[in-house]
Amino acid sequence: MASTFLSVSVRPPPRPPSLPLINCRTTTNSSHFASRTQREPPPLTSILQNPNPSPSPPSSLTCALECPHFQSCSGCTHEYNLHHPAIVDEATDFFKALGVSDFTFDSCRLWGWRCRAKLAVRGSSSEPLIGLYEEGTHNIINIPDCKAHHPRINAAVELLKQGIAELNVEPYDEDKGTGELRYVQMAVTTYDTSLPVSQRYQNGKVQVALVWNSRNENSPSSEKLNALANYLWRNGGPRRKINIIHSLWANFQTSTNNIIFGNRWRHLFGGGDFWEHIGGIDVSLAPSSFGQANTKAFDSLLRKLQKYVPYGASVVDLYAGAGVIGLSLAATRKCRSVKCVEVNKESKLSFGKTVERLPVNLDCSISWHQADTSIEPLSWLVGSEVVVVDPPRKGLEPSLVDALRTISSVELNYRLPESPSLKAKDEKRPWILRAKEASMQYKLGPTKEESDSLPQTLIYVSCGWQSFKEDCASLLSGKTWHLDKAHGFNFFPGTQSIEILAVFKRHRGASVKKKKSGKKKRPS
């Protein structure tokens, strides 16, 4: 299904001035979204019907969820005004109180936006349940007509159910710890260069990761795993008229806790590399990598973020994952250097593959480091003019907040020859040495002398509204930073959630005073 976007600018005259500018992109709910009762597993062609519903202007009615699963499914929390969740008004007032009166909100795609979903598999082989937990329980709710899912995910789920029933695959039983298939991750790639750009999203293909209840591929149930994978590839792979499957992977997990993935992966069918085009670059994502669920919204955020990074700047990207933000800046802003710092070692391989597809004429020093940014955070900030942080929902680590809040008072110390960025050969701290051992270095262009500067711009990407407000208050309390710009993005339509892009600038007078006071002390 392809949604036709409407870009609507809602002008101030009829609206109170405190409300944000909302860029709303929406589509009409069509017969494709009609609920089905007495449902038989439909053929894939019926699931993918009506790819181009006609557009309609946004309103409280046309921006309604109209999902048959809303009352039981925990995925969405409100049905109406998907383009303007109530939290937007709270965010507008919050930023206005901090001097940012031009807060904007991009409502993004309202239906079919989720390109990455982790779903539990329960029930029985004859009646499999694939979906989310009912709120407050471990009861699974089937969501075959989910309005949030990219339609290809719904199609792949239906195909998986048919395979489970036909091959007598036993879904996992949490109480007994028995069964074979525990979870499935569906990830859609919408980047296919063989198609016109306008057709790529609707024709996305699904990377399917089956979480199998065994230690490895040599377990007694491995034959059934291979049979299920063969069934999915045969009925949804490239030899079918409608090719919905990109690749198939197995993950092996026997833990009794709620952790979805185990540490062991196996590639079964299809492309080994999963690519998406985001932020102006080709991005590689392994099934174990973190990836944003809303690809279109993330791309919009990256395009906005890029405007706040000066050309030729040196950048450090903290909580970097596979380095999507940092590498997109390297390519689009011609950065002098980009350091990506991430604690999860699984992101390293994807980072390296993405770097290999960057433009060959980049004049940039690029590196990836496996490290915990809460330990000696100043060692990562030194040498960069722009710091980008994209933390998990809990927000920034307190030690990093303190380092950023007090950065002006330590600026002179980091200009001394003993700076860790300038005398790496004398480094003795084990956490820094471990990070260097796990790092990847790329020199795309002539080697440049390493800078000892400290950030003048802080770009904060937040998925946790409450934690962001707390971090924002802490950063501003130090009188080192002021909030310059703020934008909101609708990463999860149907929920009271908001993704924030906030730009902080260093107070110019703060570091100048420190330098002057330092010079006065030297003669004595």
**Contact partners, residue 102, CB within 8 Å, separation at least 6:** 21, 485
Nearest to 195 by CA among 180, 205, 187, 185: 205
Q: Is the separation of the CB atoms in 498 and 88 below 8 Å?
A: yes
DSSP annotation string for 244-290: -EEEEEEEE---SSS----SEEEEEEE-S--EEEETTEEEE--TTS-
Phi and psi torsions of 415, nearest 5°? -100, 0
Q: Is the separation of the CB atoms in 235 and 159 below 8 Å?
A: yes
Q: What is the CATH number of the domain that holds 359?
A: 3.40.50.150
Specify the pLDDT at position 436. Answer: 55
Specify the pLDDT at position 2. Answer: 39
Specify the pLDDT at position 5. Answer: 35
Q: Which residue has the tokens 């992109």?
A: 25
Q: Rounded distance, CA 142 to CA 8, Å? A: 35
Asked if pLDDT for residue 511 goes beyond 50, the answer is no
343 and 462, same domain (yes or no): yes
Q: Please list the residues that pair with 364 across neighbouring strands.
A: 444
Tokens at 158, concatenated? 């239906």
Tokens at 408, concatenated? 């002006």
- Domains in the chain: how many in total? 2
409 and 476, same domain (yes or no): yes
Specify the pLDDT at position 453. Answer: 83
Range of the domain at 264: 114-275
Q: Rounded distance, CA 338 to CA 182, Å? A: 39
Specify the pLDDT at position 3. Answer: 40
Q: Kind and range of the H or E element at 22?
A: strand 21-24
Q: Rounded distance, CA 349 to CA 440, Å? A: 10
Is there a catalytic annotation at residue 63?
A: no
Mean pLDDT of 145-160: 97
Specify the pLDDT at position 150. Answer: 97
What is the percent of the chain where pLDDT is above 70? 78
For the stretch 426-445, pLDDT in tens is 555 554 555 555 666 775 65
Asked if pLDDT for residue 448 goes beyond 70, the answer is no
301 and 444, same domain (yes or no): yes
Instruction: Indicate the average pLDDT of the chain.
Output: 84
**Contact partners, residue 370, CB within 8 Å, separation at least 6:** 342, 343, 344, 345, 348, 434, 435, 438, 439
Specify the pLDDT at position 413. Answer: 55
For the stretch 93-135, pLDDT in tens is 999 999 999 999 999 999 999 999 999 999 999 999 999 988 8
Does a structural domain hold residue 137?
yes
Nearest to 189 by CA among 98, 73, 270, 261: 270
Q: Is the separation of the CB atoms in 105 and 487 below 8 Å?
A: yes
Does a structural domain hold residue 435?
yes
339 and 434, same domain (yes or no): yes
Specify the pLDDT at position 39. Answer: 36
157 and 212, same domain (yes or no): yes
131 and 188, same domain (yes or no): yes
Highest mean pLDDT: which range of 4-8, 60-64, 152-156, 410-414:
152-156
456 is in an annotated binding site: no
Q: Is the separation of the CB atoms in 171 and 194 below 8 Å?
A: no
Lowest mean pLDDT among 112-126, 130-144, 150-164, 410-424: 410-424
Asked if pLDDT for residue 395 goes beyond 50, the answer is yes
Does a structural domain hold residue 154?
yes
Choose the final residue of a domain: 210, 240, 275: 275
Pairwise pLDDT comparison (446 vs 381), residue with the higher score: 381
191 and 149, same domain (yes or no): yes
377 and 255, same domain (yes or no): no
466 is in an annotated binding site: no
Q: How many CA atoms lie within 13 A of 191 on its CB side?
A: 17
For the stretch 182-203, pLDDT in tens is 999 999 999 999 999 999 999 9
Label the pairing between strands 245-252 and 181-189.
unpaired
Helix, strand, coil percent content, the chain, rounded in steps of 5: 25, 25, 50
Q: Would you say the C-alpha torsion 40, 44, 45, 47 has a positive or negative sign?
A: positive
Asked if pLDDT for residue 356 goes beyond 90, the answer is yes
Does a structural domain hold residue 161?
yes
Catalytic residue, candidates 115, 340, 463, 472 = 463
Specify the pLDDT at position 264. Answer: 95
Does a structural domain hold residue 57?
no
Does a structural domain hold residue 498?
yes
270 and 320, same domain (yes or no): no
Asked if pLDDT for residue 338 goes beyond 80, the answer is yes
**Contact partners, residue 178, CB within 8 Å, separation at least 6:** 170, 172, 213
For the stretch 242-301, pLDDT in tens is 999 999 999 999 998 889 999 999 999 999 999 999 999 999 999 998 889 999 999 999
340 and 258, same domain (yes or no): no
Nearest to 326 by CA among 345, 346, 347: 347
Q: Please list the residues that pair with 483 across neighbouring strands.
A: 504
Pairwise pLDDT comparison (409 vs 48), residue with the higher score: 409
Phi and psi torsions of 132, nearest 5°? -110, 165
Between the CA atoms of 124, 129, 133 and 139, what dihedral angle is there, to the nearest 10 degrees? -40
The angle, 0 to 180 degrees and rounded to 10, between the axes of the packed helices 295-306 and 324-332 is 50
Give residue 375's pLDDT band: very low, low, confident or very high (50, 70, 90).
very high
Does a structural domain hold residue 48?
no
User: How far does CA 55 lie from the centroid of its chain?
Assistant: 28
222 and 301, same domain (yes or no): no
Q: Rounded distance, CA 93 to CA 27, Å? A: 29
Q: Is the separation of the CB atoms in 498 and 467 below 8 Å?
A: no
The maximal CA–CA distance of the chain, rounded, in angstroms, is 89
Residue 135 DSSP SS3: coil
Choose the final residue of a domain: 246, 275, 304: 275
For the stretch 45-102, pLDDT in tens is 555 554 434 344 445 557 888 888 888 888 888 889 999 999 999 999 999 999 999 9
Q: What is the CATH number of the domain that holds 221?
A: 2.40.50.1070
Q: Rounded distance, CA 336 to CA 400, Å? A: 24
308 is in an annotated binding site: no
**Contact partners, residue 437, CB within 8 Å, separation at least 6:** none
Q: Rounded distance, CA 247 to CA 236, Å? A: 10
356 and 270, same domain (yes or no): no
Asked if pLDDT for residue 149 goes beyond 80, the answer is yes
Between the CA atoms of 422, 428, 431 and 434, what dihedral angle is there, to the nearest 10 degrees? 80
Nearest to 315 by CA among 381, 413, 395: 381
Specify the pLDDT at position 44. Answer: 54
Pairwise pLDDT comparison (25 vs 159), residue with the higher score: 159
Does a structural domain hold residue 211?
yes
Specify the pLDDT at position 512. Answer: 39
292 is in an annotated binding site: yes
